[in-house]
Structure 1
Amino acid sequence: MPFPAPYDSWFPDAAFDGTYGFDEHALRRVPPVAPPTGLADTWRRWRAEARTVDAAPRTLSTTTVDGRSVSIVEHAGADGIRLRSWLVGPATEAARVGIVHSHGYGGRDAIDLARVPDDAAAIFPVARGLPTLNAGVGAPEPVEQHVLAGLGDPDRYVLGMCARDLWLAADTLLLLVGDLPLYYVGESFGGGIGALGIPWDDRFIGATLIVPSFGQYDERLAVPCLGSGEVVRAHVTEHPEAREQLRPFDASSTLGFAAIPVRVEAALWDQYVPPPGQFGVANAARDLELAVLPAGHAEYPGWDAVTADAVRHGRAHLARALRAAS
C-alpha cells in the first residue's frame, strides 16, 4: 500500500506507514485514556514522598560554555539514589526562570541551549540508567530492559521513578540557583516523562512537550513501531496482565491533571512514537498550544526551518507562561 504524499517521497525506504492511517483531523480526535480510579491519589502520594527526600546536591565540576557556567552536579533521585545532571547558569546577571530540560530515550551526552533563554537557569537531568551521566545507575541501560524494569510494582516501575526523579532535579536547580518559577521542556521520552510528573508539582508554570511518548496505550499497543513501545507491545502480548500495570503511567491520563499552559509539538508521521499516542497526550491538555509537525524522529525537506520555528514558538510560550505567573 503506498504511503500518503509527501511521505512516499520523503521516506521511500520506510518499512511501514508512519501515519498509521491517521490524518490530522483524525489525530485531533484521539481521546486520552481515562484515568483509572485512584490515579491522582497515587501520584500525589509519590509527590509527598519525594518532598521528604533531601536532594543534597554536590557540584562535581564547572566550566564555561558560551558565557554560561555549566556544572556537572550530583543529587538524589526520588528513592535516594545518587544521579548526575548538568546545571547551567543564566547568560545574564540573574535568572528569571528555571528550566528542567529532559531528553529522548538515547539519553544525553551534552547540553542543548536552543530552548534556554539568556535569562534562564536550567538543569539537564539524565534519567536513571541512561547515558552518559547515569548509564546503568538505578536501572538497566539497554532500552529493551529499561522500559520494562520494575513494571510489576507500580512503586518501582522505571518510568514512574524517572518522572519522580524530575522533582528532585527541580529541587536541585532551586537549591543551587535560588527560588525561581519553573518551566519544563522534554522531547520524546522526556515529553512523556514530563507529562507524568509535572501535573503534581505546583512549582511549574508551563511546559513544552515535543513528540511525547508513553501516551494513549490503547493506541500504542495496537501498532508496531521502531521505539521503546515495540518492546512494551511484545511484552503485553505475552503478558496481558501488564496492560493494567501500565495504566498509572499513561501520559495521556496524567496530563489532564495539569492546570498550567502546555505546548505540545506532535507529529503527523513518526515510526518511533506513533502519532495517535502523541496526539492522545496533546488532547488531554487543559490549556493547550498545539504545534503540528510534518514528521517526528526523522529529518525531511525543510526540517531545519520547521525546527527553528518550533524553538522560536516554544520560547514564546515560555515567555507568556512567565508573564502570566508574575
Structure 2
Amino acid sequence: MPAPTHPFAFDPTHGHTLDDLLRIAAPAAPADFDAFWRARKEAADQVPPHPRLGRLVEDRDGYRIQELSYDTPGGRCSALLALPIAGIARHGFVIGHGYGGRTDTGTQLPLPLPGSAAILPLAPGLPALGLRPDIPSTPDEHVLHGIGSRDNYVLGDCVAGLWGAAAALLELVPSLDGRLGLLGESFGGGIGALALPWDDRFAAARLTFPTFGNHPLRLALPCTGSGEAVRTHVRTHPEAVEVLAYFDAATAATRVRVPVLTACALFDPAVPPPGQFAIHGALGGPRQLEVLEAGHYAYANEAAERRRLGVATAEFFGRWMGR
C-alpha cells in the first residue's frame, strides 16, 4: 500500500518494506539483563498495593469508573478503575497509555471481552492523575528523567506501575487471578513489553505501535516522538546507551512467553516502524501480527483499520483467556 502523504522532513517508513521489517531482530542483551529485571520485580512484590478508591468519575456503558491509587516501590501511583455495574467480572485488563498521559475521558470502553474489569494506571509524572512535582510531565523531558543510571531511570518506575496495577486489581477482585490481560499502546506498549517477561499474572497481551524497541536502531532514525529527545541526548551523553540497553523492549520481548498480539504500523512519524517490528519479531511465545497502514498519524483508512484491530483483539483474547 502507498505511504500517506506527509509534511515531515524525513520518511516515516524509513525506507522499509514489510518484508524488511519482518527481518529486524532484537539487539543483544546486557549480561545481567535478566538479573536486573528479576530484582526489580522482586522489589515490587515486597510492596503491598494497598489500593484505595477515590472519586467517582462516571457510570458509562455498564461500567462504574472511579479514581484509584496504589503503592509501588517508586511511590503512590494513580489509576482509573472500571468495574461492571451488574454482575461479576470474569476477566481483567491492565491498560497502559500513550506518552500524552490520560484524562478522565480516556477510559477505553468497551473492553476486549464482555464481563471484564480494568485498571488503567497513570505512569508516574504524566498527566493528569500521575503528575508529580519531582518528575517532568512533558514526554521529551520525562523520557530523559534519571537516564544517567539504570536504577534511577523513570522507565523502571513506569514498569513497576504496571506490576502494581495488576496487584491492585487482583486485591480488589481476587477471582481474576489467572485471567488478566495487558493492553498497551505506544509508550504503554513499550512499557508493557518490558513488564511482561517477569510477571506470570498476565495470560495474554496486545501491544500497539510499541516504542522502546531496538534502541541501537532507533538512535539512527529521526522521529517526532520521545525517541528524538533520546537521540539528541545521546549525542552529548553517549554513556546513556549503556542504560538504554536495559530498557529495550525488543530485548525484553525475547523473554516473553505468553501469547501477544502486536499491532505495528508501516508508517509512523512518532515511533519508527523498525522498532515496532523488532518487538514483534523478538517475541518468544505465541504471537499474532496485525499490520496497520500508519500510526500516530491520521489517514483515510484509519477508522476501518481500527475496527478490524478491535475484532482481532476480541478474538485473540477470547482464544487465550476464554470468553
**TM above 0.5, one fold?**
yes
The alpha-carbon deviation at position 236 of structure 1 amounts to 0.7
1:307 paired to 2:302: no
1 CA distance for matches of 2:314 and 2:303?
17
The alpha-carbon deviation at position 77 of structure 1 amounts to 2.4
Partner residue in 2 for 1:289: 288
Partner residue in 2 for 1:265: 263
Give percent identity, aligned residues only: 41
* Counterpart pick for 1:28 among 5, 22, 26: 22
Unaligned stretches of 5+ residues in structure 1: none
1:38 paired to 2:32: yes
Structure 2 counterparts to residues 1-326 of structure 1, below 5 A: 6-7=2-3, 10-62=4-56, 63-79=58-74, 81-90=75-84, 93-109=87-103, 110-136=106-132, 139-180=135-176, 181-286=179-284, 287-323=286-322
- How many residues were matched structurally? 317
AA at the equivalent of 2:67:
I
Partner-residue secondary structure (3-state), 2:192: helix
2 CA distance for matches of 1:108 and 1:159?
17
Question: What CA deviation, in whole Å up to 9, does each residue of 1:190-245 have, x standing for no partner?
Answer: 00000001110000001000000000011100011000000000111111111111
> Contact 2:267 / 2:293 at 8 angstroms: preserved in 1?
yes
Seen in structure 2, the aligned counterparts of structure 1 residues 96 and 61 have a Cα distance that, compared at 3 Å, is same
1 CA distance for matches of 2:170 and 2:121?
14
Partner-residue secondary structure (3-state), 2:254: helix
2 CA distance for matches of 1:115 and 1:298?
24
The alpha-carbon deviation at position 14 of structure 1 amounts to 3.0
AA at the equivalent of 1:142:
T
> Contact 2:95 / 2:119 at 8 angstroms: preserved in 1?
yes
2 CA distance for matches of 1:281 and 1:230?
19
2 CA distance for matches of 1:219 and 1:163?
22
2 CA distance for matches of 1:137 and 1:172?
24
The alpha-carbon deviation at position 85 of structure 1 amounts to 0.4
Question: What CA deviation, in whole Å up to 9, does each residue of 1:55-98 have, x standing for no partner?
Answer: 1111112241122111101111233x112100011365111111
Bigger mean CA deviation after superposition, 240-249 or 188-197 = 240-249
The alpha-carbon deviation at position 114 of structure 1 amounts to 4.1
CA RMSD of aligned residues (A): 1.5
Partner-residue secondary structure (3-state), 1:86: strand
Seen in structure 2, the aligned counterparts of structure 1 residues 12 and 168 have a Cα distance that, compared at 3 Å, is closer
Bigger mean CA deviation after superposition, 89-98 or 157-166 = 89-98
2 CA distance for matches of 1:138 and 1:280?
33
AA at the equivalent of 2:275:
G
Structure 1 ranges of 4+ moved more than 4 A: none
The alpha-carbon deviation at position 311 of structure 1 amounts to 1.1
> Contact 2:27 / 2:216 at 8 angstroms: preserved in 1?
yes
1 CA distance for matches of 2:175 and 2:254?
27
